[in-house]
Amino acid sequence: DQQVKQNSPSLSVQEGRISILNCDYTNSMFDYFLWYKKYPAEGPTFLISISSIKDKNEDGRFTVFLNKSAKHLSLHIVPSQPGDSAVYFCAASLTGTASKLTFGTGTRLQVTL
């Protein structure tokens, strides 16, 4: 049972435009959500997180939006840069359960010139 889903395996965006990556979850008990970026042959790198008590968190070019009623979150990257090309993973956890992360299957973002 895939509790965290990223339904778009890939996304191509032009440099300077907005990239929007989506993530859906089924477990309403999840209360902390994170986005990681992964380059080939490297471990995931933490990007940004959001608690379920918020609906938006912003850090530089990265903004995460959380819609609890729809069990949906999205990552916005503005403006997109070629160095943003990577696989992006959405992850969720339940506070109080050692915070083990449940990951989606990832979305490969390609930022073209």
Partner 1 sequence: DTGVSQDPRHKITKRGQNVTFRCDPISEHNRLYWYRQTLGQGPEFLTYFQNEAQLEKSRLLSDRFSAERPKGSFSTLEIQRTEQGDSAMYLCASSLELMYQETQYFGPGTRLLVL
When the beta carbons of 100 and 113 are compared against partner 1, the nearer one is 100
Q: Give the DSSP letter of residue 62.
A: E
When the beta carbons of 104 and 113 are compared against partner 1, the nearer one is 104
Does position 110 bind partner 1 by CB under 8 A? no
Q: Is 99 left (phi over 0), alpha (psi -120 to 50) or beta?
A: left
What dihedral angle (degrees, nearest 10) is formed by the CA atoms of 22, 27, 33, 34?
-60
Give the range of 59-67, 68-76, 78-86, 101-109 binding partner 1 by CB under 8 A: 101-109
Q: Which of residues 50-69 bind partner 1 (CB under 8 A)?
A: 51
CB 104 within 8 A of CB 89: yes
Query: By rule CB under 8 A, what string of x and - marks binding of each residue 67-96 to partner 1?
Result: ----------------------x-x-x-x-
**What is the rounded distance in angstroms from the CA atom of residue 61 to the CA atom of residue 45?**
16
**What is the rounded distance in angstroms from the CA atom of residue 36 to the CA atom of residue 101?**
11
Binding residues vs partner 1 (CB under 8 A): 4, 31-32, 34, 36, 41-46, 49, 51, 89, 91, 93, 95, 98-106
